[in-house]
């Protein structure tokens, strides 16, 4: 056991891989992770904005809301495929988390006095 902990870097790596169950070959490139995160966040940000570019007023709001909820449900379904959880559970969870985030954003905007045009 002393030989394992003689090199702190090796010991930390060994403990992390053993405790979490990771395999060194399964860890991807940090650049690929950054790139995929950028693309995912960009697409996610565009979903509720596109209706406002194409439509106006209440129609834009309703379309944005509907597309956002559908995108969140679809994301939840995708997560369920990766985690082997029930699709309905994962989809509902994502929709509820997204709705909570939207409610907090709306509340903060209201508190600081932001008004929408329209």
What tens digit of pLDDT does each residue of 107-116 get?
999 999 887 6
- Asked whether residue 91 is assigned to any structural domain, the reply reads yes
CA distance 41 to 46: 9
Report how many domains make up the chain: 1
Q: State the pTM of this model.
A: 0.70
- Asked whether residue 71 is assigned to any structural domain, the reply reads yes
**Main-chain phi, psi angles of 115, to 5 degrees:** -120, 145
Give me the domain span that covers residue 103.
Answer: 28-112
- Asked whether residue 3 is assigned to any structural domain, the reply reads no
- Asked whether residue 5 is assigned to any structural domain, the reply reads no
CA distance 60 to 91: 24
What tens digit of pLDDT does each residue of 72-86 get?
999 999 999 999 999
């Amino acid at each position: 056991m002393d030989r394992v902990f003689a090199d702190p870097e090796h010991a930390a790596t060994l403990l992390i891989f053993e405790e979490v169950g990771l395999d060194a070959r399964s860890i991807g490139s940090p650049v690929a992770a950054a790139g995929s995160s950028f693309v995912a966040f960009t697409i996610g940000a565009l979903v509720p904005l596109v209706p406002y570019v194409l439509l106006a007023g209440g129609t834009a709001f309703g379309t944005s809301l509907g597309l956002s909820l559908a995108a969140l449900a679809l994301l939840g379904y995708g997560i369920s495929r990766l985690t082997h959880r029930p699709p309905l559970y994962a989809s509902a969870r994502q929709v509820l988390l997204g709705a909570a985030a939207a409610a907090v954003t709306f509340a903060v905007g209201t508190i600081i006095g932001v008004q929408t045009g329209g």
